[in-house]
Amino acid sequence: MLFQRLLLSITLVCAGPLTAQQTDAPQGIIERTASAHPIHYFVSLPTGWNAQRTWPVIVVIPDAEREFRKTAALFADARGARPFVIVVPMVLGGGGTAQQHKTDFDYPDSTWRVADRAGYCDFDEDGLTAVLDDVRRLYHTDSRIFLTGWEAGGHVVVPQLLRHPERLRAAAIVTPNFLGRCVVPSTRSLTDAESRIPVRVFGGDKDPAWASTSPLVTQSARFDSLARARGFRSVSDSLIRNGGHGALAADVVGYFASLLQH
């Protein structure tokens, strides 16, 4: 089985981009290794994908369960017939210490050595840069992304928003953890366009972890204050009626789809 997975990865890298009709992985989910970094990522192409147009892309950072392929399938289902390319990078920073949870990843020892040398913040930073370069080249995606993540995924989403506003079309952060991980001092002021990037925090009204006294609510408020202090003017909250605990994939994809019309 391991040999087959390695062979599939080599085949995908050598063969170049696949059309939507050529993806024979389960549920159309493709696993790739970035061409310029050892990070892995999962891709799901929308129905009708072709190389003759530019496609919007949603990058998803899972919670501490780190179910990367399952997350790609979840958002692919929520996408339906919408034109989004779904990308789920296998980041290390979305949860507890990754070295203590190696079974959540399918990285070889060589990748863990890279991560140990770089540190998880830089591994994810450089890895995400490589992933975005790949998907633009291979799948003709927009230069700016829709970014989302939930719970511990906030440890990766928030630094990306603060560090790379030029990359984002919008962000939807669901019941986020925020402890200041990987957040670096600001080196420049936002442009007017960057300051108006839509940033929305989602929570479900049936989610017990989103009660007013929850640590998640407190951490979200800290993020809100920091984002506004950094110059983001379009930070808002959305309480999803009958929403439970989780990624709120259908609501997030629907929100991003509404922004495509503007």
Residue 27, pLDDT score: 55
Residue 22, pLDDT score: 40
Q: Left (φ > 0), alpha (ψ -120 to 50) or beta: where does 95 sit?
A: left
- Alpha-carbon distance of 117 to 102, in angstroms, equals 16
Which CATH number applies to 2-260? 3.40.50.1820
Among 129, 117, 147, smallest CA distance to 253 is for 147
Cα separations (Å) of 158 from 12, 35, 94, 163? 31, 25, 11, 8
The pLDDT tens digits for 116-138 are 999 999 999 999 999 999 999 99
Which residues have C-beta within 8 Å of that of residue 143, sequence separation ≥ 6? 136, 167
pLDDT, mean of each 10-residue run, the chain (262 residues): 38 40 58 98 97 97 97 97 98 92 95 96 98 98 97 97 97 96 93 97 95 93 96 96 96 97 77
The pLDDT tens digits for 187-209 are 899 999 999 999 999 999 999 99
Here the tokens at position 245 are 């605990």
Helix (H) and strand (E) counts for the chain? 8, 8
Q: Left (φ > 0), alpha (ψ -120 to 50) or beta: where does 17 sit?
A: beta
Cα separations (Å) of 156 from 15, 63, 212? 31, 10, 24
pTM of the model: 0.90
* R_g (Cα) of the chain, nearest Å: 18
- Alpha-carbon distance of 106 to 171, in angstroms, equals 28
